Structure 1
Amino acid sequence: MSASFSFTLEKTDGGARLGRITTAHGEIQTPVFMPVGTAATVKGMHPESVAATGAKIVLGNTYHLMLRPGADRIERLGGLHRFMNWPGPILTDSGGFQVMSLAKLRKLTEDGVTFQSHIDGSRHTLTPESSTEIQRKLDATITMAFDECTPFPVDRKGAAESMRLSMRWAVRSREAFVARPGYGQFGIVQGSVFPDLRAESIEALTKLDFEGYAVGGLAVGEGQELMFKTLDTTTPLMPVHKPRYLMGVGKPSDIVGAVLRGIDMFDCVMPTRSGRTAQAFTRRGTVNLRNARHMDDPRPLDEHCTCPACRNYSRAYLHHLVRAEEMLGPMLLTWHNIQYYQDLTAGLRDAIANGTTQQFVADFEAGQALGDLEEVPVYGLGK
């Protein structure tokens, strides 16, 4: 537990970066995808199964855990790592996004946000200080600064006011953070799709010398083209020797495009949520296991994937589980999707290391374009 928190940039290939984050709970190779374990569990997965996909870090959430079972209880029980049986690194979202999207009767002030729980209507307040303290009680390896997630669409004036509030909250979050060996805190860049506001946000955050920097306020409805355009003007301004985290992203093509633009870390509920709704991500695009065409199909879901769903079961069986509403169906498809995301980022890491990122991307795009029923070459995934 004595390791200091650090980021080593090992190689670049164009804008893509190969790196290593050292933490109190282990090392993380980047680019990395973090499975989302909002309420101290990756839905439908044992922690050992999550680790078996190659995942090194998972995400928890301050808002959900403070409401149930409570940060004080988790602290008494030895912290989130012991509580959920995940010894590796854990990043906790600050709760700001969930307050805005889930809570009832919320009131935003300079101090913070007062809201009613979506669970039982009880009243709570989150401030930069309390969010940071809750994350300390959870024993988060990476703590996120408390911010307001700017909605989209938004005019420039609204985006500026929101961003500047988040920057004032970032100062308070940083002051409240208790520095410990191997633990870090990330600031969150806001400013919507306005390049000058993003630049102002980065300037304010870098003065606080966070251990890492996240890009927030994207993947909120602006579309992939505008998201990439915003990253094109944002990531070049971010510190080179600190990890860069794009929050809440995304589809496989989002991740590939963002890696090309210098992003190191990702999280998204998409692979787990899609697994629960019979959607599977494969090297040939997205497959809907509800479709009747899978009823008599003896093939694996993805012949190049090593997960149990692909290794041990046919599409026909997975289709049967989905149609029969058997819980094993969502469990297997969730495992597959997390495995796919881990294989995708592992393939990107190998490509950056070998200087073949552009070829990897071309093969990825060709495979996705060919579609599920066509043959497609292996392109570095699922070794």
Structure 2
Amino acid sequence: MTQTSFELKARDGRARLGVISTPRGEIRTPAFMPVGTAATVKGMLPESVRATGADILLGNTYHLMLRPGAERIARLGGLHRFMNWERPILTDSGGFQVMSLSGLRKLTEEGVKFSSHIDGSKHMLSPERSMEIQKLLGSDIVMAFDECPALPADRKRIAESMRLSMRWAQRSRDAFGDRPGHMLFGIMQGGLERDLREESAEALRGIGFDGYAIGGLAVGEGQEAMFDCLDYAPELLPEDRPRYLMGVGKPDDIVGAVKRGVDMMDCVLPSRSGRTGQAFTRHGVVNIKNARHADDPRPLDEACSCPACSGYSRAYLHHVYRSGEMISGMLLTWHNLHYFQQIMQGMRTAIAEGRFEAWEADFHAQRAEGDIAPL
């Protein structure tokens, strides 16, 4: 069986170009991972997601353990076969969803007892159970089980939470065991407190992981505070392992994160925005629901080769959105995912050619122009 590995191929400033090799295929980094919460990227066929340029998808442990159940997915041949995606899958640990979605919950050293947001049934999620579920799902990249405190929180709460997450990281490592062909990522916590981030990174390095995530950001602290943290956080993690910023983000968040040394990101934004009539383009965000598009025969973006732009007008996209037609969310999601992958490819090429700074300046200049003028 092919082993997993990470190879750094080039650097430009702190931006990194690399490749994660897995038995199910290579992941080019910087990588953006579309989110397939319940074993589907909403509104997309797996082959369409692949056509946008995605090398890897993200699945949600919490959602899949509740419905249809990890044991059932295992009986049906694992998550890849279940959802018809044969390339790599990363699963989150379930910790964030337990904190944000579940009903009554009780946090202890052992783990989290909670009530399902679907039917109120009682469950226990611990580092050991999270590792077991992710093994049943068969994901290629497994995330350690952590606790992400809701911000704003005081320093004492953030410190206690981070130290609990580090104890859980060790238990996750122990429970994961030796699984050739699969990777386990640890998650750095510590809020916006530099010394707590340093303490967390040191604990994770001591345990030893195949990759490292930066958790607890993009939870409402604002871009400036997030970038301040990313000015030092990635550098605290091992140079020779992938660095994953969880839950990010908007196009300019992604570019700013890669500039600061991040290799992987995920976010529901391109698909969720697509379903609500928002399209991301080189010139900023377009709200297709606005009346100005009703008679506009032009595409969303004349330079985009996605199906929404190559086959349909703004007037049509406006019409199907206003009519509540399913194709609206499908086309806009495809466009958004395509655009996000174009950003990643643009950055990979720029890093390889040593012109990331010029590429970034052009990216911001185009977005500052704003959308094309109404007819």
The TM tier, using the shorter chain, reads over 0.9
- Which structure 2 segments of 5+ residues have no match? none
Distance in 2 (CA, whole Å) between partners of 1:180 and 1:121 is 34
Partner residue in 1 for 2:291: 292
- Note if contact 1:305-1:311 (Cα within 8 Å) is conserved in structure 2: yes
- 1:374 Cα deviation (Å)? 5.9
Q: 1:24·1:181 contact (CA, 8 Å) conserved in 2?
A: no
Quote the offset at 1:178 in angstroms. 3.5
SS at match of 1:180: coil
1:226-253 Cα shifts (integer Å, max 9, x gaps):
0000011211111000000000000000
The correspondence of residues 94-113 of structure 1 with structure 2, limited to 5 A, is 94-113=93-112
Residue 207 of structure 1 aligns to a residue in which SS?
Answer: helix
Residues 261-290 of structure 1, C-alpha deviations (whole Å, 9 max, x = no match): 000000000000000000000000000000
Report percent identity of matched pairs. Answer: 67
Structure 1: runs of 5 or more not aligned: 376-383
Counterpart CA distance in 1 for 2:267 and 2:178 is 27
1:321 matched residue in structure 2:
320
Is residue 154 of structure 1 aligned with residue 160 of structure 2? no
* Alignment of structure 1 residues 124-139 onto 2, 5 Å: 124-139=123-138
What are the Cα deviations for residues 289-335 of structure 1, in whole angstroms up to 9, with x where unaligned?
A: 00011111111111111110001000110000101110100110000
**Hey, what does 1:203 align to over in structure 2?**
202
Displaced runs of 4 or more, over 4 A: none
Matches within 5 A, 1:208-247: 208-247=207-246
**Within 1, Cα distance between the matches of 2:24 and 2:206?**
27
Alignment CA distance shift 1:374-1:366 (3 Å): farther
- Give me the whole-angstrom Cα distance separating, in 1, the residues matched to 2:299 and 2:35: 26
Given residue 196 of structure 1, which amino acid in structure 2 is its aligned partner? D
Kindly indicate whether the alpha-carbon contact (under 8 Å) linking 1:41 and 1:84 is maintained by their aligned counterparts in 2. Answer: yes
AA in 1 matched with 2:80: H
After superposition, what is the alpha-carbon deviation per residue over 1:31-66, rounded to whole angstroms, capped at 9, x for unaligned? Answer: 000000010000000001001101010000110000
Distance in 2 (CA, whole Å) between partners of 1:121 and 1:181 is: 37
Name 1:41's counterpart in structure 2. Answer: 40
What is the CA-CA distance between 1:179 and the residue it aligns to? 2.5
Structure 1: distance between partners of 2:326 and 2:267: 22
Q: Who is 2:183 aligned against? A: 184
Q: Counterpart in 2 of 1:260? A: 259
Moved more, 131-140 or 295-304: 295-304
Say whether the 8 Å CA contact 1:22–1:182 is kept in structure 2. Answer: no
Letter aligned with residue 347 of structure 2: L
SS at structure 2 position matched to 1:280? strand
For residue 18 of structure 1, give the secondary structure of its aligned residue in structure 2: strand
Q: Could you say what secondary structure the match of 2:119 adopts? A: coil
Matches within 5 A, 1:1-383: 2-373=1-372
Q: Aligned equivalents of 1:185 and 1:53: distance in 2?
A: 26
Determine the C-alpha separation between the residues in 1 that align with 2:373 and 2:24.
42
Instruction: Give the total of aligned pairs.
Output: 374
SS in 2 for 1:330: helix
Letter in 2 for 1:200: E
The answer to whether the Cα contact below 8 Å between 1:19 and 1:30 also exists between their aligned partners in 2 is yes
Deviations 1:328-368 (A, max 9, x none): 00110000000011010010000000111001110110111
Distance between the aligned counterparts of 1:201 and 1:333, measured in 2?
A: 39
User: Whole-Å Cα distance in 1 between the matches of residues 55 and 373 of structure 2?
Assistant: 33
* Secondary structure, aligned partner of 1:121: coil
Q: After superposition, what is the alpha-carbon deviation per residue over 1:359-382, rounded to whole angstroms, capped at 9, x for unaligned?
A: 11101101111100169xxxxxxx
Cα distance, 1:150 vs. partner? 2.2
Determine the C-alpha separation between the residues in 2 that align with 1:96 and 1:355. 38
Deviations 1:71-118 (A, max 9, x none): 000001100000000000000010000000000001000000000000
Q: Distance in 2 between matches of 1:3 and 1:180?
A: 12
C-alpha separation in 2, matches of 1:163 and 1:32: 26
Q: AA paired with 2:357?
A: Q
Q: Which amino acid in structure 1 is aligned with residue 180 of structure 2? A: P
Deviation string, structure 1 residues 116-157 (Cα, Å, up to 9, x no partner): 000000000000000011000000100000000122112111
Answer whether contact 1:280 1:333 (CA < 8 A) is retained. yes
Q: Which amino acid aligns with 1:349?
A: R
Residue in 2 that maps onto 1:378: none
Whether the aligned pair in 2 keeps the contact of 1:150 and 1:190 (CA below 8 Å) is no
| Residue identity matched to 2:34 | P
1:164-187 CA-to-partner distances (Å, cap 9, x unmatched) read 000000000000003222210000
CA distance in 1 between counterparts of 2:259 and 2:139 reads: 29
